[in-house]
Chain A
């Protein structure tokens, strides 16, 4: 086996999406990267696993039985552990295109974006209106409200930050969203679906915060623009599951000289004068005889997911989720083969929205006739987490298999990493898309490299040699 270099610019620990994007970008920029993961597969929390692995991970079956066998070949299943979708016009799409990682991954649309109004069996489930025209046809609003919503959406569509004449007399950096809604005279239920299913805020905190109006308008515009791009929903999704994303960026990193090592554990992190200076590590395959391959190398920086440095991160909340296997589409969704359904918190007496993300054989994640739906929310203190997802589970109808573990802690770093040069990423949050993940990528890059991450032109500037 080849020698490990005696020094790297960056050691990256964990092959989640955040880490793989950073590894890829740094390699393209000419940094010498060593990228390791303690697992035997790529993706960490962002991996997609087969059905057998999922059963074994959750342990929800009787010893000696093999319940996955009745669902076809386990490898025909690629089940995401993190329920997220890509915004067609979002930053992750931008990064994928800018780095040419789109060469390795094919994408398909998510067929629909829905929102629930009301509660229980009689609740309305309707398409999220994505423009003024759809607002006029939406069952979510009465006749007069439709017109007011149309006016609002037309204004949002025309909004241009640099052109005050499109601001309708408001200074958005000072305004609350409540003031904007008031100005358009929108009803509470309309504010609800706009804020939660278009701006995609998971709570109501944005409504009364001064200056949040600009952020909210940006989010609605991202939704509307993403929707306009391919037509059915604002979301796209990679064939074979989200686990393809970290793999694609890892390949990018490798192509530019990044060294990859799975099954590798860090035995010691060395510091000099308070800054990281190197690592000692062991690479050993599961079941491999002997000591494995032990090595030591110097490094200037470490980028890592929080699981590699539990003492440098804190828990900021808990996510609850249930991965459900269905053999039918979801009721009231036009038999969509894939969708996002948002149940705004206020509709079901909560403080955090419940999300349902569903994909199916159209996306090569399961055999024909099956659907994989993940119901998730932020766990609320004092709540019985077994019941928190119930309104979402109720929407699914008959469930063939359900995988639900204890609430999952969400971590964020204690420090920026500038002092010790150990930069910790955030856990995947409860949001339904990757926008906060790419914010974290950009934030870590800024902290680690002292400059903004510019992805535009990465594929040409750095001399990627390929032929057509």
Chain B
């Protein structure tokens, strides 16, 4: 937690806030690819299932006064056998639920994730639905298995943000995250810290990362501070 910046206003009256974002969706729909595109602007055709990269951060400037930092949690595969830990949803401010527009069943799965979020996560969580792999139907329209209008209608009814995206071509990826950022309660976050911020910065909170500087207070010679 040492790396988390302070929450609150920056010098000059600019606004800055940090939010936890979680990803959900069936395996292979492109959750990690969307994150990779958003955070590193890269794409990998032969990605393996998520390993070793389940925690990333990315900062975006909404306008020249407002910066939003996403702390992005990828599922790490624990959802595959319905074994996602409550920790994953805990204090999530926003979620991207992903399906693959060439796989009809992946939208059903996405809908069940939305339900799960509404059951487990904060009441005011911002949820975006992302129909990914848009590039595939741009090349071959008959590959589309989920009509845009259907997903859009569902998103509207369930009060979700909605985009069709391509992690491969980057289409709508920035737009997706930016629209989430716009919907987040930045005013409140800058005042109180929605995500809570680093425990080290709050009363009684401790920053375990700061071990090196303070860890040996009574170690070696010198000892007891008496």
By the criterion CB–CB under 8 Å, are B86 and A247 in contact? yes
Judge if B143 is at the interface, Cβ distance under 8 Å. Answer: no
A 159-177 contacts with B by CB, 8 A: 159-160, 163, 166
By the criterion CB–CB under 8 Å, are B81 and A228 in contact? no
Q: Out of A42, A103, A107, A257, which one reaches B51, CB within 8 Å?
A: A257
Number of A-B contacts (CB under 8 A): 161
Given A158-B223, A225-B218, do A285 and B57 touch, yes or no (CB 8 Å)? no
Q: Out of B55, B82, B217, B220, which one reaches A466, CB within 8 Å?
A: B55
By the criterion CB–CB under 8 Å, are A111 and B208 in contact? no
Interface string of B76-112 (1 = CB under 8 A from A): 1110111101111010000000000000000000000
In the complex, chain A residues whose CB is within 8 Å of the CB of B86? 41-42, 247
By the criterion CB–CB under 8 Å, are A2 and B206 in contact? no
Bound CA span A93–B209, Å: 10
In the complex, chain A residues whose CB is within 8 Å of the CB of B218? 131, 157, 221, 224-225, 228
Judge if B149 is at the interface, Cβ distance under 8 Å. Answer: no
Bound CA span A247–B27, Å: 21
By the criterion CB–CB under 8 Å, are A468 and B57 in contact? yes
Q: Which residue of B lies closest to A98 (CB)?
A: B211
Bound CA span A224–B226, Å: 12
By the criterion CB–CB under 8 Å, are B199 and A254 in contact? no
Q: Which residue of B lies closest to A223 (CB)?
A: B218
Judge if B147 is at the interface, Cβ distance under 8 Å. Answer: no
By the criterion CB–CB under 8 Å, are B51 and A256 in contact? yes
Bound CA span A132–B105, Å: 68
Interface string of B15-58 (1 = CB under 8 A from A): 00000000000010000000000011000000000111111111
- How many residues on A have C-beta within 8 angstroms of the other chain's C-beta atoms? 67
By the criterion CB–CB under 8 Å, are B216 and A225 in contact? yes
Q: Out of B1, B2, B39, B226, which one reaches A150, CB within 8 Å?
A: B226
Bound CA span A257–B78, Å: 10
Bound CA span A464–B27, Å: 21
Given A111-B204, A131-B218, A468-B3, do A157 and B199 touch, yes or no (CB 8 Å)? no
What's the nearest-Cβ distance from chain A to residue B18, in Å? 12
Judge if B13 is at the interface, Cβ distance under 8 Å. Answer: no
Q: Which residue of B lies closest to A111 (CB)?
A: B204
Judge if A250 is at the interface, Cβ distance under 8 Å. Answer: yes
Bound CA span A28–B61, Å: 35
What's the nearest-Cβ distance from chain A to residue B120, in Å? 9
Given A108-B206, A240-B90, A468-B57, do A154 and B215 touch, yes or no (CB 8 Å)? no
In the complex, chain B residues whose CB is within 8 Å of the CB of A225? 215-219
Q: Is the interface of B mostly helix, strand, loop or mixed?
A: loop
A 225-249 contacts with B by CB, 8 A: 225, 228-230, 232, 236, 239-240, 244, 247-248
Bound CA span A188–B84, Å: 52
Judge if B222 is at the interface, Cβ distance under 8 Å. Answer: yes
Judge if A89 is at the interface, Cβ distance under 8 Å. Answer: yes
Given A259-B77, A465-B53, A467-B57, do A133 and B39 touch, yes or no (CB 8 Å)? no
Bound CA span A132–B218, Å: 12
In the complex, chain A residues whose CB is within 8 Å of the CB of B224? 131-133, 153-154, 156-158, 224
By the criterion CB–CB under 8 Å, are B52 and A97 in contact? no
Bound CA span A256–B51, Å: 5
Interface string of A101-136 (1 = CB under 8 A from B): 011111111010000000000000000000111000
Q: Can you spell out 27 A-B residue pairs with CB atoms less than 8 angstroms apart?
A: A97-B208, A97-B209, A103-B1, A104-B87, A106-B196, A108-B206, A131-B225, A156-B223, A157-B225, A157-B226, A159-B223, A225-B217, A228-B217, A236-B206, A239-B196, A244-B87, A247-B87, A251-B85, A254-B76, A254-B78, A255-B50, A255-B51, A259-B77, A260-B83, A262-B82, A262-B83, A465-B53
Interface residues of A (CB under 8 A from B): 1-2, 41-42, 88-89, 93, 96-97, 102-109, 111, 131-133, 150, 153-154, 156-160, 163, 166, 221, 224-225, 228-230, 232, 236, 239-240, 244, 247-248, 250-251, 254-257, 259-264, 283, 285, 337, 362, 462-468
Q: A1-B81, A462-B52 are in contact. List 12 more A-B contacts (CB 8 A).
A: A42-B86, A93-B208, A97-B211, A102-B208, A109-B205, A131-B226, A157-B225, A224-B224, A229-B217, A250-B78, A251-B78, A285-B82
